[in-house]
Amino acid sequence: MWWSFVRSPLTAFVHDLIMIAAAWGCAFWLRFNLGSIPDESVLIALRTLPLLLVIHGAAFFMLGLYRGVWRFASVPDLLRIGQAVILGVLVSTAVLFMATRMEGIPRSVFPLFAILLIGFLGVPRLIYRLAKDHNFRPQTGEQVLIVGAGRAGEMLVRDLFRHVNRRYLPVAFVDDDRAKLGKEIHGVRVVGTSNNIVDVVNRFSIDVILIALPSADAAGVRRIIEECERSGVPFRITPRLDDLLSGKTSVSELREVSIEDLLGRAQVTLDWGAISQGLKDKSVLVTGGGGSIGSELCRQISHLGPSSLIVADRSEFNLYSIEMELRARFPALPLHVRLVDVTDTSAVEKLFSDHKPNVVFHAAAYKHVPMLQSQVREAVFNNVIGTQRVALAADRHAVESFVLISTDKAVNPTNVMGTTKRIGEIFSQNFNRHSRTDFITVRFGNVLGSAGSVVPLFKKQIAEGGPVTVTHRDVTRYFMTIPEASQLIMQAAVNGRGGEIFVLDMGEPIKISYLAEQMIRLSGKKPGDDVEISYVGLRPGEKLYEELVHDQEPLAPTPHERILLARFREVDWNYLDKRMRDMEMACDRFDEATLCDILADLVPESSPSSALQPTTADVIPLHASSRTRNAF
């Protein structure tokens, strides 16, 4: 109780009133050269003191001196003190001048009083904070090296000194800004750059490394992680910048380094105003809404205030999972979940008729390359015929825009899945010219952690003790995070005017062997020693590397630096419509041989029906094939 009274705003206010009286008396004393003050001046000082106490006390309250906590007093608190003192002095001078014409009050008393009062109010607060910081600063604990002497590093070391359990003792910084070398932050010196991590660890007997670089790019983080691994001591990292900005976490909430830290890129800058304007108060349908990309699209869209969100998926469990999440996080959102197979014409028609969506994100697709390689009919029926049926329903019901989620495997496809996605692109682009709906395609590579992707597989294999299976030592893939992909999809959707293929900038491709090694290391094990990596060879339909554009799709920039526009390739509409009907009839007959012929006809640069060698398919020039007239 006594301690609560000492720390109360009332105690601080009483202290400040005493300081007002002390500063007023000392101002008169200084005015008379620290000698005896004449009795007449003493009487004037005593008579005017109550007025000063009232005016300055009111100024202190008005400017919020008692909203701050002495324990965390800082420059903003000093500025508030200065403003309050100056305001009080100006008002009290004006009042005394109007009341007494300042008779008997030396003019020099007021500037002296202002200077003294700022000091009398500020110094005790500073002393209190220094004393508390000294008491809270740990004297023992794990020796900590902090990588990054920027704002995040400063916040981290301050929080560590204040932390109740005092587990960590910051002893040194490293930072690549050489201007900071030798400088100190809260008494902790910057002793080198990130290239010196190993030497610093040995010199200071470091127990743990904390990485405070929330806005660093993946290449920089990878280099620093490699240095930390060489040092042989444990390391942790602060949250990513997007999590800090969203308020989900704080800089002191340290965590294990994740694969997203190593493979992610700089924070995506989006035109949220345009995205919100494009989706706010709109009825939005997401097909495949229970999948990895579809569910994240639902989360992102829910933040933007749609008039309703319709989530369609053929998986009962996936649909249930996203419904429970969205209802818990967005209780006011008008949400409709529907079990719908996109190949079911009646169900699709009923979905559009009942909910009348304004915008459709078509994320429903089969995507497992090796599995679909031997199940051509299922791949075509879902990825091509299903896309066509949803697109036709969107046209019949005057949907404003239809966004097809595509893949880099649709470029020079060497597998059935990529070929079917390419035909979905062809149909959407060309149907745009025959519809009031704007048909937009967004193409990108792999997303980290999506269902059936390599990251969950590697995690499972590592947990089981290995081996981790990699198809080929040199195989590479593009990666981005699920939230990043979903946000760029929405950005492309609002930028599109119909008929475009937007290609997301995926950065540099990553070797899958590197991904496997890093995931093993992040699990606390050593590749080759604790967990083996087994190279099993490329599976049917797989490439060594993926591409984002075809040779005949030169890229053009868009207003967003991370979104590029691929050139449109036109197909004769009557011929395309006939081939789509041929595919549907072949699906009904389960005639996979005919389906393979049609796929090769519509996408001549592909080889979907054969088990391919580990190279990309050659592109057939437009003039080199008798089918080319109809293929583009």
- pLDDT band of residue 260 (cuts 50, 70, 90) is low
What pLDDT score was predicted for residue 622? Answer: 25
DSSP code per residue over 23-78: HHHHHHHHHTTTSPPPHHHHHHHHHHHHHHHHHHHHHHHHTTTTTS-GGG--HHHH
Contact 491, 455 (CB under 8 A): no
What pLDDT score was predicted for residue 231? Answer: 87
**Mean model confidence pLDDT for the chain:** 80
pTM of the model: 0.65
Neighbour-count burial for 113-130, b at 16+ CB within 10 Å, e otherwise: bbebbbebbbebbeeebe
Rg (CA), the chain: 34
Contact 579, 602 (CB under 8 A): yes
Q: How many residues does the chain have?
A: 632
Contact 389, 343 (CB under 8 A): yes
Q: Token digits for 592?
A: 């996979």
Is the pLDDT reported for residue 621 higher than 60? no
Contact 462, 533 (CB under 8 A): no
Confirm whether 409 is a catalytic residue: yes
The domain 272-602 is placed in CATH, from the list 3.30.420.10, 2.130.10.10, 3.40.50.880, 3.40.50.720, at 3.40.50.720
Pinpoint the alpha helices (H) of 476-617: 482-495, 512-522, 573-589, 592-602
Contact 313, 288 (CB under 8 A): yes
Region 263-276: mean pLDDT is 68
pLDDT in tens, 518-569: 888 777 778 888 888 998 887 777 777 776 666 666 677 777 777 877 877 7
Residue bearing the bigger pLDDT, 473 or 248: 473
What pLDDT score was predicted for residue 283? Answer: 95
Catalytic residue among 180, 367, 409, 421: 409
Report the percent of the chain where pLDDT is more than 70: 81
pLDDT in tens, 87-100: 888 888 888 888 77
DSSP code per residue over 110-167: HHHHHHHHHHHHHHHHHHHHHHHHHHHS-SSSEEEEEE--SHHHHHHHHHHHH-TT--
CA dihedral 157, 159, 161, 163 (to 10 degrees): -150
**Within 13 A of 320's CA, how many CA atoms are on the CB side?**
3
**Within 13 A of 279's CA, how many CA atoms are on the CB side?**
32
May I ask the CATH class of domain 142-257? alpha beta
pLDDT in tens, 17-44: 888 888 888 888 888 777 788 877 788 8
d(CA 313, CA 339): 5
What pLDDT score was predicted for residue 388? Answer: 96
d(CA 158, CA 186): 7
Residues of the chain within CATH 3.40.50.720 domain(s) are 142-257, 272-602
Question: What CA–CA distances, in Å, run from 250 to 46, 156, 159, 239?
Answer: 51, 9, 10, 7
**Within 13 A of 602's CA, how many CA atoms are on the CB side?**
34
